[in-house]
């Protein structure tokens, strides 16, 4: 399908308690490349199969969590249109100047009803370490660790899921591909796509706003999920659950924690979504099977531990 408007997730800025420990985790274990370090200490990273300058930003802080998630839009015209639409709906918009992050053009920023900050931008410089494009080998430098292909999505927790859903559907053009509903129709979890992935953003109803459940990285296949499990065990990384499979999205998965307590996922597979496809609906009595298809039940840590 021809992608227009919001193209894809661009980057996430994650707060970590120790940069030294975080670098071992994200660089050596997940397999991201360090692109640069800013004068303010922020570290910019990318997966080996990503073209843009960076997709993960680490910021050392005394509280773990997510500063913001940013989406790349088609062009400057689209960026201006989204700003106008947000303002028309009474949503405050901040401006982040060119170069606030290396290689990134101007950004607009808003806080969603769930309390999360989302940025939109149209321009980011290409990385000199991006995939080859002329007679290209599979990779420029040999992948390491879990061999993450790209930053894939975030799952976020907050109270006003309906309000955030409205912004992403009505203003930004996302589609709800899948959801979990109470018997009375209350949305408990929603999965939103701006393209033909099963999801680019997921939101779960939660009493506290602005919480991060996980940052997810795409890997190649089920074998890669197994290899990630081997790395998690070898280096005593705190594992949440998996390897297993989701009913929602049909993706294969393993969840684990970075040294600061932020949950990560490596993910493979998942169905393709196209405009006009019906929304897949899970009812609460089947929520265990929806989240963990094989186990058919949830663990308390997966539902309640957030940063």
The one catalytic residue in 153, 178, 206, 213 is 153
Cα(276)–Cα(41) distance, integer angstroms: 45
Residue 265 annotated as catalytic: yes
Residue 157 annotated as catalytic: no
The one catalytic residue in 53, 54, 116, 246 is 246
Torsion sign across C-alpha atoms 237, 240, 245, 249: negative
Half-sphere exposure of 159 (CA within 13 A, CB side): 4
Radius of gyration over alpha carbons of the chain, in Å?
18
Question: Distance of alpha carbon 113 from its chain centroid, rounded?
Answer: 18
DSSP letter (8 states) at residue 295: T
114 Cβ neighbours under 8 A, 6+ residues apart: 156, 157, 158, 159, 160, 161, 163, 164, 203, 209, 210
* Bond preceding residue 64 cis, omega within 30 of 0: no
Residue 100 annotated as catalytic: no
Neighbour-count burial for 104-122, b at 16+ CB within 10 Å, e otherwise = bbbbbbbbbbbbbbbbbbb
- The dihedral region occupied by 90, where left means phi > 0, alpha psi between -120 and 50, and beta the remainder, is left
The one catalytic residue in 26, 48, 82, 255 is 255
Residue 53 annotated as catalytic: no
Whether 271 contacts 198, CB under 8 Å: yes
Residue 22: which H helix or E strand, with range?
helix 19-23
The one catalytic residue in 54, 199, 206, 213 is 199
Residue 232: which H helix or E strand, with range?
helix 222-234
Residue 116 annotated as catalytic: no
Residue 255 annotated as catalytic: yes
Q: Which residues are catalytic?
A: 153, 199, 214, 246, 255, 265
């Amino acid at each position: 399908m021809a992608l227009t408007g919001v193209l894809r997730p661009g980057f996430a800025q994650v707060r970590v308690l120790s940069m030294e420990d975080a670098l071992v985790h994200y660089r050596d274990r997940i397999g991201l490349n360090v692109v640069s370090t800013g004068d303010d200490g922020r570290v910019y990273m990318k997966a080996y199969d990503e073209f843009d300058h960076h997709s993960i930003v680490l910021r050392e802080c005394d509280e773990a969590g997510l500063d913001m998630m940013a989406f790349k839009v088609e062009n400057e015209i689209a960026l201006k249109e989204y700003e106008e639409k947000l303002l028309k709906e009474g949503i405050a918009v901040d401006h982040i100047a060119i170069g606030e992050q290396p290689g990134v053009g101007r950004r607009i920023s808003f806080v969603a009803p769930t309390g999360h900050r989302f940025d939109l931008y149209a321009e980011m410089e290409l990385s000199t370490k991006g995939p080859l494009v002329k007679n290209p080998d599979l990779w420029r430098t040999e992948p390491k660790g879990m061999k993450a292909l790209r930053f894939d999505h975030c799952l976020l927790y907050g109270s006003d899921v309906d309000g955030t859903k409205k912004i992403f559907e009505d203003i930004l053009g996302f589609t709800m591909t899948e959801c979990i509903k109470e018997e009375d129709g209350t949305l408990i979890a929603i999965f939103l796509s701006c393209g033909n992935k099963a999801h680019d953003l997921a939101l779960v109803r939660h009493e506290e706003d602005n919480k991060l459940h996980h940052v997810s990285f795409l890997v190649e296949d089920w074998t890669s999920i197994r290899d990630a499990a081997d790395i998690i065990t070898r280096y005593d990384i705190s594992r949440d659950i998996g390897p297993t499979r989701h009913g929602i999205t049909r993706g294969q998965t393993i969840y684990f924690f970075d040294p600061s307590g932020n949950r990560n996922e490596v993910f493979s597979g998942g169905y393709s979504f196209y405009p006009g496809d019906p929304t897949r609906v899970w009812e609460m009595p089947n929520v265990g099977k929806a989240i963990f298809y094989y186990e058919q039940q949830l663990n308390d840590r997966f539902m309640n531990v957030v940063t």
